[in-house]
Amino acid sequence: MEQYVIKGGNPLVGEVDIAGAKNAALAILAAAIMTDETILIENLPDVRDINVLLEAIAKIGAHVERIDRSVVKINGSTIGELSVDYEYIKKIRASYYLLGALLGKYKHAEVPLPGGCNIGSRPIDQHLKGFRALGAKVSILHGAIVAEAKELKGSHIFMDVVSVGATINIMMAASMAQGRTIIENAAREPHVVDVANFLNSMGANIKGAGTDVIRIKGVEKLHKTEYSIIPDQIEAGTFMFAAAATQGDVTVRNVIPKHLEATTAKLEEIGCQVEEFDDAVRVVANKRLRRTHVKTLPYPGYPTDMQPQIAVTLALAEGTSIVTESIFENRFKYADELSRMGANIKVEGNTAIIDGVQKLTGARVSAPDLRAGAALVIAGLAADGITIVDDIVYIQRGYESFEEKLRSLGAEIEKVSSEKEIQKFRLRVG
Ligand code: EPZ
């Protein structure tokens, strides 16, 4: 088992390049099998979730050729299996995007039902409601979702909750349905737009992505394309908060500043200076930050995937902050770990009340999930002394070369896999 060992206290200073968006890439890779022609995808992040999904895609028979770390070619003409293994869905829920992709292309798909996960219960009723509205028969058999249709027919679908996954899954299937589909109350996240742009570049006819009404005119066939994935706004935001929490000065490059507006606004509110360039954002923190309140919401609101990172930063800010999580029910699991580092954080229901402290002190903590894990690393970078973060496998699901990028900004962080290596690090950093 690997860990991060961190000696805190260095302000992060410098420039860092952001990888492609994991959550856009997961859907785009699944959608890439919807044609028999070859698709080339660029700006792919080299993270575990992506690599597992590529394995799942290869396992159903598609040809997957990794050209380099950030480029892959996929050809779906050799798919021989319309059923995805539980092994993959267990590792990444997003393999459920193969449901919409296979159903759209072959009118048949079998994907194991994903269970709950670390951040709470994660129903997929809206995905299934959408497939049914398109005329598919959807049943649960032996733990798997089986969706099939003689033909898919466009429909007018009103989503009961704003769901990124359901919007994308329905958009994929509807791209190859007969006639027109309208998705109302659709998610507006940048990655929904990116998937729509990708499908359109394959010949789909999708309009309105990025608004809450998406209109799709089904086409019979999709074709080859070359496509570059948008930058990861959550990775970017994580580095922006790392700069803030360590009183640093960091420029995150290869970003779309518009996608970072909710994060930028909060950083300014708590006293950081944020400068926007065409494709970069610089965050400078040169005094103690101040309290704020924040509530997570669907885009363009403040993202749930940035909730632990702001909470860690507020743990060191002056005054009392309130953080409300309105998307997932169990996204404060890191609070107890943060308390062990000296934070004053109390969770009541979906709210965390944080009384800022002057300093955090290093401790041994465990990453409970991907974003909370990254937030605990930020806490370690800002804390006095040594922090060890266990279970970094969660962090590796979504952050490319996390420790290398942090080191390039002056952080003292190492990935280790034994107590001996931890001791060596302690001796080295003194
Ligand atoms: C996506 O998950 C992201 N994952 C999550 O990223 C992110 O936290 C989340 O969107 C919200 O932005 C991927 O893109 C792979 P939802 P998703 O469907 O699509 C409820 C990360 O750290 N809901 O938008 O699964 C649901 O319970 C992560 O990278 C239903 O009730 O999220 C939640 O309360 C983890 N029924 C809300 O909607 C449904 O059928 C939003 O979930 C679907 C969702």
pLDDT, residue 1, reads: 87
Query: How far is the centre of ligand 1, averaged over its atoms, from the C-alpha of 237 (Å)?
Result: 18
Q: What is the CATH number of domain 3-19+231-429?
A: 3.65.10.10
pLDDT, residue 117, reads: 76
| 92-112 residue pLDDT tens | 989 999 999 999 999 999 999
pLDDT, residue 301, reads: 98
Distance CA 338, CA 343 (A): 6
Helices marked H in 17-163 — which ranges? 22-31, 48-59, 86-91, 97-106, 125-133
Asked if the domains at 3-19+231-429 and 22-228 fall in one CATH topology, the answer is yes
> Does residue 216 surpass a pLDDT of 70?
yes
pLDDT, residue 11, reads: 98
Catalytic hit among 67, 117, 161, 265:
117
Strand 364-366 versus strand 320-324 pairing type: unpaired
- Mean model confidence pLDDT for the chain: 97
Q: Is the CB of 8 under 6 A from ligand 1?
A: no
> Does residue 45 surpass a pLDDT of 80?
yes
Closest atom of ligand 1 to 191 CA is 14
Tokens for 285, please give them. 């923190």
Query: How far is the centre of ligand 1, averaged over its atoms, from the C-alpha of 200 (Å)?
Result: 23
What is the three-state SS of 8-26?
Answer: CCCCCEEEEECCECHHHHH
Closest C-alpha to 298, from 256, 328, 331: 328
CB atoms within 10 A of CB 264: 20
CB 350 within 8 A of CB 324: yes
Q: Is the CB of 367 under 6 A from ligand 1?
A: no
Q: Is the CB of 327 under 6 A from ligand 1?
A: yes
> How is the chain split into domains, by residue range?
3-19+231-429, 22-228
- When pLDDT is averaged across residues 169-174 and rounded to a whole number, the result is 98
| 257-316 residue pLDDT tens | 999 999 999 999 999 999 999 999 999 999 999 999 999 999 999 999 999 999 999 999
Distance CA 364, CA 341 (A): 8
pLDDT, residue 89, reads: 87
| 50-99 residue pLDDT tens | 999 999 999 999 999 999 999 999 999 999 999 999 888 888 989 999 99
Q: Computed over its alpha carbons, how large is the radius of gyration of the chain? A: 22
Closest atom of ligand 1 to 397 CA is 29
Q: Is the CB of 125 under 6 A from ligand 1?
A: yes
Tokens for 289, please give them. 């930050």
Q: Is the CB of 124 under 6 A from ligand 1?
A: yes
Q: Is the CB of 126 under 6 A from ligand 1?
A: yes
Name the strands in the sheet holding 412-416, side by side, starting at the edge strand that comes first in the sequence: 364-366, 386-390, 3-7, 412-416
pLDDT, residue 119, reads: 84
Q: Is the CB of 97 under 6 A from ligand 1?
A: no
Strand 249-253 versus strand 13-17 pairing type: parallel
Query: How far is the centre of ligand 1, averaged over its atoms, from the C-alpha of 226 (Å)?
Result: 27
Give residue 120's pLDDT band: very low, low, confident or very high (50, 70, 90).
confident
Give residue 364's pLDDT band: very low, low, confident or very high (50, 70, 90).
very high
- When pLDDT is averaged across residues 327-335 and rounded to a whole number, the result is 95
Ligand 1 probe mutation, 49, 52, 158, 161, most atoms within 8 A of CB: 161
How many angstroms separate the Cα of 149 from the Cα of each of 133, 205, 332? 11, 21, 41
- When pLDDT is averaged across residues 146-169 and rounded to a whole number, the result is 98
pLDDT, residue 116, reads: 65
Distance CA 394, CA 241 (A): 19
Tokens for 298, please give them. 């669907």
Q: Is the CB of 399 under 6 A from ligand 1?
A: no
Residue whose Cα lies nearest atom 21 of ligand 1: it is: 305
Give residue 389's pLDDT band: very low, low, confident or very high (50, 70, 90).
very high
Task: Give the contacts of 277 (CB within 8 A, at least 6 positions apart).
Answer: 257
Residue whose Cα lies nearest atom 41 of ligand 1: it is: 163
Active site residue 117: yes
Task: Give the contacts of 341 (CB within 8 A, at least 6 positions apart).
Answer: 360, 361, 362, 363, 365, 379, 380, 383, 387
Give residue 118's pLDDT band: very low, low, confident or very high (50, 70, 90).
confident
Q: What is the CATH number of domain 22-228?
A: 3.65.10.10
Place of tokens 């930063």: 313
